[in-house]
Each structure stands twice: as structure tokens, then as C-alpha cells.
Amino acid sequence: MAHAYSKAVELAAPKTSLTPCILDDDHSQLDLLSAVMDDMGYEAITTSDPEEALGLVRTGRCRLVLADVNMPGMNGYEFLDRALRSDPGIHVIVMTGEYTLESALDAIRRGATDFLPKPIDRVRLKRTLDEVATIYDQRKRVRALEEQLLKDLEFHGIVGKSPVMLEVFDFARKVARHYTNVLLVGSTGTGKELVARAIHNISPVSQQKLAICNCSAMVDTLLESQLFGHVRGSFTGATDTRPGLFEYANNGTVFLDEIGETSLPMQAKLLRVIQNREIQRVGSPEVRQVNVRLIAATNRDLRAEVLAGRFREDLFYRLSSIQIRVPSLTERLEDIPLLVHYFLKKYNDVYGKNISGLTRRAQTVLLQHAWPGNVRELENVIATAAITATGDFIDLADLPEHLQHRGPRRADGDDWRPLSLDEVRKVHIQRVLELCQGNRLRAAQILGIGRTSLYRYLKRDGHEMRARERTGGAAA
Ligand SMILES: Nc1ncnc2c1ncn2[C@@H]1O[C@H](COP(=O)(O)OP(=O)(O)OP(=O)(O)O)[C@@H](O)[C@H]1O
Ligand SMILES: [Mg+2]
């Protein structure tokens, strides 16, 4: 191995975190090449097992493989194909003792970064390694810039760079200054509560209190006492007199989540708060004055609810003079990489991990999923994957089963069977329940039905036991 190759060149080798892997069935070659690479400033992992090398690629432990062509078990070309399938960004340099121009071109066509004859020409190897290292370091710098960008693209804890989200931020900023009621419309998990908090935080009353109430989580009597307060003895269990959230957050903001789930009598009471700024504690004749900004949220089409007679028209108009629609995640796919980055950072901290990203194929799967649970579902996926991932990268196997097996085609395309509508409902409800990890309240929200209807279906379809086992009793 000859060579116009000097120590000075070696010393100029860039310091990089690119970890090469040398794959060869010949152990003496492994030792030799690893010593050569070491001289060049690259600390390599060596193996004679192609499966082990594939594992390193899959988990992102190495970003470049120098692979021999003739190996028992799996030849270099097959290795190249499989490595690229795992991670299309991987660099594979194929090396062989039987070099022909044709085989070299063939390897490049198949996606190899370079094709080197044996014995390896050190100068050429170094040039290739340095080129790859430069690209790799450039990508790392881009990632660091993205990190900076992430800080700039965060609006009070809400991450987004898509035009539709920037519009939401812009509008929220404008309306926050004026003390008017706001209606937030959007599917479950899109970030309505975050937007409500942001509006409060940048409003002139940010120093005052923000009270949050989920209107669908309680029966009417409890909701009434929660919002308006009660006097001692007004109902069984009312052992003391308490102010409600409207009094607590007087001069501040009250966020009413799932307002579409409230009953007509409750809606009448809310209208009174808006129109007359008056409340009465449960069991008290005394009328009290309150001054609050109402931010309400719903995942229902309130106009349709009005037409169906389930929502008061006057309350709807009072609430909806300023309406912000928070788009579903599939309407802003370009936010997914940013959100993934943000959640990875968050869960790396929580679980003491150091995961750098997702493999290409895992990224592809995320971009093709339908995300019925929107950003909340994405956050859950990343949180769970951060726990299970053992390598530096989250791979397919770390994603939930139903994501792994769903191809780019529509959900029911492949396993379509001629089911009755009752069966379709049963299967669909089961899937949604699994998505919500058994949380029936959330499942009912996604399904767009009331909790009572969901219970009725669960009972009728014989889901009950299974669903209850999953909820661990937490969802009722
Ligand atoms: N743009 C975003 N950036 C960062 N985190 C987000 C974003 N959107 C949502 N999340 C996170 O997703 C989860 C759900 O968000 P949030 O509770 O605001 O949704 P929601 O629209 O109120 O849902 P629901 O209708 O079910 O009440 C939260 O953990 C929130 O922190
Ligand atoms: Mg909410």
C-alpha cells in the first residue's frame, strides 16, 4: 500500500463524531483497517457480523459502514440494500478484491457512497471519509440551527412554523390585547388549552388568575358548584361555603373547555355571566357581580349543535364573535419534525436519555399517519418511544404497533372485509379506545358522541370487560 500520504495530512483530519463501522469476515483486515482509520482520526467499530452492523445502522450508532463484498451469510450488496432500507441517509463504502469498473458503477447505482478496490488506497479512503465527515458535520450544524429556530418558533410553549399555525399565533396575539370572549374550535389534542393559556399570558390581565374548567368532566350539579360556588348545606356534602371559579378568577380569565358538552340550563347560566356579569352561588339568593374574560373551547361544530337544538343560539353568538380555529395536525404536516424535536428534547430530559432523532423510515411513518388524536397523540408516541428506544435513534420498532403496520394507503384498504355496520362500529370504537389508552372520555370526544352513548355501545357490543381492564378504572 503505497503512498503519497503524509502524517501532516492525517493530523489535518477533521474531528468528527461520525463513527465508522468496518464490516469484513477477515479479522486481519478488520485490525489493519481499524488501525489505518485510527491514524486518520476516526475511531471505528469493527465487526464480522453483517447483522450486527445492520443493528448499528438501525439504531444510528454509526453513520458510515466500510463493507466487504465477499462475506459468508450476506454479501456486501445485500448488506448495502438492507442498510439503505433501514436508513437511506447511511453512507456505505463497498470494498472488494475483485474490482471492475462495471461492479463499481453498479454499487454506486445501488446507493453506495464509494467503491474501493482492495488493498485499500489510504489516500482515497481518507478523502472519502473526510467528505462524508464534512457532510455529516454540516448536517449537525443545521440541526443546531434548527434548535435555535425552535426557540424562535415557539409561541408561549406552542410549537409551530406552518403558515396555519403562524396565523393562529398572530390572531391570538391581536385578540389577547382586547378583553373580549374568544371561542377556540378544533379537534381533540390540537392545543386549544395551550392557546387559551397563551392568550391569558399576553393579555392585560395576565397578572390576574386563569381558571380552567373542563365542562364535560362533571355532572351538571357539580359543574354548577365548581363554576358558581355554593353555600353550606345547599346540597348533600356541601359542608362549607365556597366561591366558584368565576369569583376565583374575577378580573382575570376563565377557560371553559368542551363547552359544547354543557346542558341547556347550564348554558342559560353562562349566558347570564356574559350578558349581566352576574352569578349566584348554588343555594344562595344573593346576586354577585363578576368581571371575567371567557375563553371557551369545543371540538364540536357549535353551529350544527345550535341547529339541532342542543346549543343556545344567543350564547353561541356571544361566544363566537372572535373565533380561532386550531388546525388539526394533518393540516400542518410541516410542523411534525419540529414537534418531534421539541418532544424529544422534553422526554430526553424527563427520562435521562440522549436520543438524537428518528430513523428515516420512522419519520416517514409519522408523516403518513392520520393522527386522530393530533399533537397529544404525537406527544404520547414520542414519549413512549423515548422510553423503549435503546439506540441513539427512534426506529419503527419503538413506534406503536398500529403505526408500524399501516402503509401509505388508507387505513382499511388491505384488510377490508364485508362487515355489517354494527361490526364496523364495534371495531372502530375498540381502535379508538386503544388509541386513547382506554380513556373513555377522550374516546367519546374523538368519536364525536356523548359519554353516555359510548357506554351504551360498549355495553351492547360486549366491549365492557375489555375496556374496563384497559382503563384500570381511571376513565369513568
Ligand atoms: N403546538 C404544540 N406545541 C407543543 N405542544 C403541544 C402543541 N399542541 C399541543 N401540544 C401538547 O399536546 C397536548 C394536548 O394539548 P391541549 O390540551 O392544549 O389540546 P386540546 O386541544 O385542549 O385538547 P382537548 O380537545 O382534548 O381538550 C398537551 O400536552 C400539549 O402540551
Ligand atoms: Mg383541552
Residue 416's pLDDT band (cuts 50, 70, 90): low
* Ligand 1 pocket residue status of 327, Cβ below 6 Å: no
The model's confidence at residue 386, banded by pLDDT at 50, 70 and 90, is: very high
Does some domain include residue 157?
no
- Let me know if residue 281 belongs to a domain: yes
Contact 133, 16 (CB under 8 A): yes
Mean pLDDT on 89-94: 90
For residue 437, pLDDT over 80 is answered with no
Report whether pLDDT(406) > 80.
no
Flag the least confident range among 67-76, 138-147, 360-369, 456-465: 456-465
Half-sphere exposure of 133 (CA within 13 A, CB side): 20
Is the CB of 227 inside a 6 Å radius of any atom of ligand 1?
A: no
Distance CA(397)–CA(445), nearest Å, equals: 29
Whichever domain contains 335, its CATH number is 1.10.8.60
Tell which of 409, 435, 461 closes a domain: 409
Q: Whose CA is nearest to atom 5 of ligand 1?
A: 158
All cell numbers assigned to 254: 376563565
Query: Of 15-24, 100-109, 124-133, 409-418, which one has max mean pLDDT?
Result: 124-133
| pLDDT reported for residue 389 | 87
Length of the chain: 476
Q: Are strands 278-279 and 288-289 parallel, antiparallel or unpaired?
A: antiparallel
Q: What is the mean pLDDT of residues 213-228?
A: 92
Residues 307 and 201 reside in one and the same domain: yes
**Cell for 357?**
432523532
SS3 sequence of the chain: CCCCCCHHHHHCCCCCCCCEEEECCCHHHHHHHHHHHHHCCCCCEEECCHHHHHHHHHCCCCCEEEEECCCCCCCHHHHHHHHHHHCCCCEEEEEECCCCHHHHHHHHHCCCCEEEECCCCHHHHHHHHHHHHHHHHHHHHHHHHHHHHHHHCEECCEECCCHHHHHHHHHHHHHHCCCCCEEEECCCCCCHHHHHHHHHHCCCCCCCCEEEEEHHHCCHHHHHHHHHEECCCCCCCCCCCEECHHHHCCCCEEEEECHHHCCHHHHHHHHHHHHHCEECCECCCCCEECCCEEEEEECCCHHHHHHCCCCCHHHHHHHCCCEEECCCHHHHHHHHHHHHHHHHHHHHHHHCCCCCEECHHHHHHHHHCCCCCHHHHHHHHHHHHHHHCCCCEECHHHCCHHHHCCCCCCCCCCCCCCCCHHHHHHHHHHHHHHHCCCCHHHHHHHHCCCHHHHHHHHHHCCCHHHHHHHHCCCCC
- Let me know whether 177 and 236 are in one domain: yes
Inside any domain, residue 362: yes
For residue 72, what are the domain limits?
7-147
Q: Which atom of ligand 1 is nearest to the CA of 191?
A: 18
- Domain of 306, CATH number, reads 3.40.50.300
Spacing, Cα 70 to ligand 2 middle (Å): 58
Whether residue 71 lies inside any domain: the answer is: yes
pLDDT category of residue 417 using cuts at 50, 70 and 90: low
Last residue of a domain, one of 377, 409, 441: 409
Cell numbers at 272, concatenated: 347570564
Query: Which residue's alpha carbon is at the smallest distance from atom 30 of ligand 1?
Result: 191
* Tens-place pLDDT, residues 116-150: 998 899 999 999 999 999 888 888 887 788 777 77
Chain centroid to CA 39 = 43
Looking at the structure, do residues 170 and 316 belong to the same domain, yes or no? yes
Bridging pattern class, strands 253-257 and 114-117: unpaired
- Say if residue 175 is in the same domain as residue 318: yes
Task: Please indicate, yes or no, whether residues 334 and 313 belong to a single structural domain of this protein.
Answer: no
Q: 255 with 297: CB under 8 angstroms? A: yes
Q: How confident is the model at residue 182 (pLDDT cuts 50, 70, 90)?
A: very high
Domain match, 168 and 266 both: yes
Instruction: Confirm or reject: Cβ of 346 under 6 Å from ligand 1.
Output: no
Q: Is 215 in the pocket of ligand 1 (CB under 6 A)?
A: no
**Residue 14, pLDDT score:** 43
Lowest mean pLDDT among 74-88, 114-128, 144-158, 261-275: 144-158
Ligand 1 atom with least separation from CA of 186: 21
Whether 87 maps to a domain, the answer reads: yes
CB of 115 closer than 8 Å to CB of 103: yes
Domain boundary among 147, 179, 208: 147
The CATH number of the domain holding residue 63 is 3.40.50.2300
| Dist. CA 247–CA 234, nearest whole Å | 18
Region 314-318: what's the mean pLDDT?
A: 95
Amino acid 408: pLDDT: 47
Q: CA 407, CA 365: separation in Å to the nearest integer?
A: 8
Residue 152 covered by a domain: no
The residue that leads in pLDDT, 420 or 406, is 420
Question: Are 73 and 194 within one domain?
Answer: no
For the segment 368-395, the average pLDDT, to the nearest whole number, is 92
- The CB of 375 under 6 Å from ligand 1? The reply is yes
Cβ atoms of 256 and 269 closer than 8 Å: no
The reply to whether 138 and 16 lie within a common domain is yes
Mark whether 26 and 125 lie in a shared domain: yes
With a pLDDT cut of 70, the percent of the chain lying above it is 91
pLDDT at 176: 92
As to burial, measured by CB atoms within 10 angstroms (0-12 exposed, 13-18 middle, 19+ buried), residue 406 is: middle
- CATH code assigned at 438: 1.10.10
**pLDDT tens per residue across span 37-55:** 999 999 999 999 999 999 9
Same domain, 168 and 306: yes
Write down the pLDDT at residue 475: 30
User: How many distinct structural domains can be found in the chain?
Assistant: 4
Does residue 435's CB lie within 6 angstroms of at least one atom of ligand 1?
Answer: no
> How much distance in Å is there from the Cα of 194 to the middle of ligand 2?
8
Maximal CA-CA distance, the chain: 100
Q: Give the distance (Å) from ligand 1 centre to CA of residue 433.
A: 19
Q: Looking at the structure, tell me whether residues 312 and 187 fall in a common domain.
A: yes
Q: Is residue 337 part of a domain?
A: yes
Average pLDDT score over residue span 162-191? 92
Instruction: Say how far apart CA 176 and CA 203 lie, in whole Å.
Output: 5
What's the one-letter identity of residue 45?
I
Give the Cα separation of 57 and 393 in Å (integer): 10
Instruction: Average the pLDDT over 318-344 and give the result.
Output: 93
Mutate to test the pocket of ligand 1, among 161, 334, 376 (most ligand atoms within 8 A of CB): 376
Residues with CB under 5 A from ligand 2 (ion): 193, 257
Residue 1 within any structural domain of the chain: no
The one-letter code for the residue type at 326 is V
Handedness of CA 290, 296, 302, 305 (dihedral sign): negative
- Let me know whether 317 and 335 are in one domain: no
Cell readout for 200 is: 391569558
Question: What value, to the nearest 5°, has the Cα angle with vertex 348 and ends 435 and 169?
Answer: 70
Tell me the β-bridge partners of 91: 64
Within 10 Å of residue 13's Cβ, how many Cβ atoms? 16
Q: Would the CA dihedral through 436, 441, 445, 451 be positive or negative?
A: positive
